[in-house]
């Protein structure tokens, strides 16, 4: 069991709880079945076949939840990376997005979202809290598998970048917040799932308190050896169960806003 830290000092969320209405609507195509290997060059990155090829590779790596694969095949990852890096958008690699932050590998996004959904097999997940919006890619993926997504970012530059990236999609169930992710977002609680894109020494107490009974937290956490591991916390009426999974590497979890 991860030791529960005390509540960190409260930082006021800015803007106030009113969720951003710069949302996103899928005018995006569904992934098409793949046959022979498809060359990305010359197809156009908005082609569904390019995303379908990525999804096929992720499925071969072990991601099995069709809800996750469908979401990854729908969201156009190249719209969330800098123009100089778009040709790498559908490779299984993390890419810089500015302010010393990165967009996670598609396989990592798929793995974490699949773990989050494991507590709700076969149905759409309820309300989800994402800690660390980054460029907005994972929030867009979550929008296809959850009824509502609250995503909080502590770096104003990235908050604004995510807002711009998501604007053209107009997803009505995504709410972008600028604030201290270590405090969570109590106004939206309880959450069926909480997913973090940064790793701290322990899962903040605020997240555990804002998690619904039966909900899950998926977050990188620093272990005793100083390395990060992916941790899943499951909240029951009597206890919080912890599972420590594979080693991962995320940016550090920090408090405050910048």
pLDDT digits (tens, 9 = 90+) for 70-102: 999 999 999 999 999 999 999 999 999 999 999
In a domain, 49, yes or no: no
Could you tell me the CATH number of the domain that includes residue 199? 3.40.50.150
In a domain, 20, yes or no: no
Average pLDDT rounded to a whole number, residues 25-35: 36
pLDDT digits (tens, 9 = 90+) for 114-168: 999 998 888 899 999 999 999 999 999 999 999 999 999 999 999 999 999 999 9
In a domain, 159, yes or no: yes
In DSSP notation, 189-235 reads: -SEEEEEESEEBSS--HHHHHHEEEEEEEEEEEE-TTS-EEEEEEEE
Catalytic position from the list 14, 104, 107, 147:
104
Average pLDDT rounded to a whole number, residues 171-199: 97
In a domain, 57, yes or no: no
Domain with 201, as residue range(s), is 94-252
Task: Specify burial of residue 70 (Cβ count, 10 A radius: 0-12, 13-18, 19+).
Answer: middle
Are the C-beta atoms of 222 and 201 separated by less than 8 Å?
A: yes
Has residue 104 got a pLDDT over 70?
yes
Q: How many domains does the chain have?
A: 1
Cα–Cα distance for residue pair 52/58, rounded to 1 Å = 10
In a domain, 216, yes or no: yes
Q: What is the DSSP letter of 136?
A: S
Q: What are phi and psi of 155, to 5 degrees?
A: -100, 115
Q: Please give the mean pLDDT across all residues of the chain.
A: 86
Cα–Cα distance for residue pair 22/171, rounded to 1 Å = 8
pLDDT at 117: 96
Categorize the per-residue pLDDT at 15 as very low, low, confident or very high, splitting at 50, 70 and 90. Answer: very low
User: Would residue 104 show up in a list of annotated catalytic residues for this protein?
Assistant: yes
Q: What is the DSSP letter of 102?
A: E
């Amino acid at each position: 069991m991860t030791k529960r830290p005390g509540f960190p000092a409260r930082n006021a969320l800015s803007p106030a709880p009113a969720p951003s209405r710069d949302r996103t609507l899928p005018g995006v195509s569904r992934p098409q079945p793949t046959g022979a290997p498809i060359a990305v060059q010359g197809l156009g990155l908005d082609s569904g076949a390019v995303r379908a090829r990525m999804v096929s590779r992720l499925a071969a790596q072990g991601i099995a939840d069709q809800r996750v694969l469908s979401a990854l095949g729908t969201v156009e990852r190249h719209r969330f990376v800098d123009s100089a890096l778009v040709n790498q958008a559908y490779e299984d690699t993390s890419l810089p997005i500015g302010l010393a932050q990165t967009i996670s590998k598609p396989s990592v996004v798929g793995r974490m979202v699949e773990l989050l959904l494991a507590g709700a097999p076969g149905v759409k997940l309820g309300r989800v809290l994402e800690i660390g919006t980054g460029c907005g890619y994972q929030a867009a993926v979550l929008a296809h598998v959850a009824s509502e997504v609250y995503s909080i970012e502590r770096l104003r530059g990235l908050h604004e970048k995510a807002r711009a990236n998501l604007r053209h999609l107009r997803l009505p169930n995504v709410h972008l917040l600028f604030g201290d992710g270590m405090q969570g977002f109590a106004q939206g609680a309880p959450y069926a799932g909480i997913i973090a894109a940064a790793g701290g020494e322990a899962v903040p107490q605020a997240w555990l308190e804002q998690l619904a009974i039966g909900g899950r937290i998926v977050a990188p956490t620093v272990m005793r050896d100083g390395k990060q591991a992916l941790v899943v916390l499951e909240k029951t009426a009597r206890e919080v169960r912890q599972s420590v999974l594979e080693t991962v590497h995320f940016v550090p979890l920090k408090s405050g806003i910048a």
